[in-house]
Amino acid sequence: MTPSPPAATAESADAWFRLVVSQALVTLGGVVMSSVTVVLPPLPADCDVARGDASRPYMPTRVGFGLGGILKGRLSDHFGVMVPVLAARWGWASVSSPQERPRTCGSSAWRKAS
């Protein structure tokens, strides 16, 4: 049996920093994804759609995040972390546009503010 390293040298300060930053990002992402449920109840009234139609995009988004996390985890295990990061950056750039404007459906408070 091999002896374990002393507690003082087991983890570096960089490893602890990466752990804290990654946990903060995961927490923030979870809060943002879960906050959609706060917006869903008033959305059908603002957009003049049924509640089921308003919440329909939410389910595939959550499933996509789950499957994407598994896929990106496997990619990072195989190729390192840079490949999934670059793939996510390319994917985000391919679906976002600087000219993209909010759709006509939105809260009345949003319309008054703009």
pLDDT tens digit string along 15-63? 899 999 999 988 988 888 788 778 788 878 888 888 888 888 888 888 9
- Dist CA 7 CA 69 (whole Å): 32
Quote the pLDDT of residue 113: 47
Quote the pLDDT of residue 34: 80
Nearest Cα to 40, choosing from 31, 50, 25? 50
Quote the pLDDT of residue 77: 93
Quote the pLDDT of residue 45: 81
* Burial per residue of 70-91, b for 16 or more beta-carbon CB atoms within 10 angstroms, e otherwise: eebeeeeeeeeeeebeeeeeee
Give the tens place of pLDDT for each residue, 76-96. 999 988 998 898 888 878 877
Quote the pLDDT of residue 31: 85
Burial of 24 (0-12, 13-18, 19+ CB in 10 A): exposed
- Dist CA 18 CA 24 (whole Å): 10
Quote the pLDDT of residue 95: 76
* Whether 58 contacts 36, CB under 8 Å: yes
Angle at 67 between CA 80 and CA 49, to 5 degrees: 140
Quote the pLDDT of residue 110: 47
Where is pLDDT greater, at 45 or 8?
45
Where is pLDDT greater, at 109 or 5?
5
